[in-house]
């Protein structure tokens, strides 16, 4: 093999390697935008239910399971029913609930049935404006996406 053929062979091998590398560098997961949009819709539904004073509607965003984990402040609550009771005690009426706004949502679909969501919340009430950040873990079930873990931190 002469030098010209070797050079062409090297160039072809380099081009093939570059093409393979480019193919591997793309996303490994299929398009996740439909799932991310479904999760955003779930959170909008929660916000809407909250703002009409409907804690039961708000709770529909959570997986109805004893494995649900809700962490806030220095407290961890396990189970859907216990989490619901916590909300009902903390927010006994519309005035306590205020108007909820979620913002700065970042939805990262990790697998076809798992996602993590970061965001901010704020409550507009007559006498105060509590706000903070949250991290949610959502899983996809037969009934759709549901929150299975919630860690919410209020700002001081």
Beta strands 114-124; 75-78: pairing state: unpaired
Domain spanning 33-154: CATH 3.10.450.50: yes
d(CA 33, CA 16): 31
Give yes or no for a contact between 107 and 40, defined as CB atoms under 8 angstroms apart.
yes
Beta bridge partners of 114: 111, 139
pLDDT of residue 30: 56
- Average pLDDT of the chain is 88
- Of 26 and 65, which is predicted with more confidence? 65
**Mean pLDDT score, 96-118:** 98
d(CA 44, CA 17): 46
Environment class of 50 (CB within 10 Å of its CB; exposed 0-12, middle 13-18, buried 19+): buried
pLDDT of residue 31: 77
Predicted confidence (pLDDT) at residue 124 exceeds the cutoff of 50: yes
Alpha helical stretches, state H, the chain: 3-25, 33-51, 55-59, 80-90, 94-97
Give yes or no for a contact between 138 and 39, defined as CB atoms under 8 angstroms apart.
yes
Predicted confidence (pLDDT) at residue 25 exceeds the cutoff of 50: no
For the chain, the domains span: 33-154
At 73-102, the pLDDT tens digits run 999 999 999 999 999 999 999 999 999 999
**Mean pLDDT score, 126-146:** 97
**Mean pLDDT score, 28-48:** 89
Predicted confidence (pLDDT) at residue 19 exceeds the cutoff of 90: no
pTM over 0.85: no
């Amino acid at each position: 093999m002469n030098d010209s053929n070797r050079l062409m062979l090297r160039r072809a091998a380099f081009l093939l390697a570059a093409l393979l590398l480019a193919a591997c560098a793309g996303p490994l997961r299929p398009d996740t935008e439909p799932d991310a949009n479904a999760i955003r819709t779930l959170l909008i539904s929660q916000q809407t239910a909250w703002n009409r004073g409907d804690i039961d509607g708000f709770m529909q965003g959570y997986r109805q399971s004893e494995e649900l984990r809700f962490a806030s402040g220095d407290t961890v609550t396990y189970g859907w029913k216990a989490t619901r009771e916590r909300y009902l005690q903390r927010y006994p009426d519309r005035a306590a609930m205020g108007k909820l706004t979620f913002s700065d949502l970042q939805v990262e679909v990790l697998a076809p049935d798992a996602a993590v969501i970061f965001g901010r919340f704020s409550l507009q009430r007559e006498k105060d404006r509590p706000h903070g950040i949250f991290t949610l873990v959502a899983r996809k079930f037969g009934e759709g996406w549901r929150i299975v873990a919630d860690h919410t931190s209020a700002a001081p």
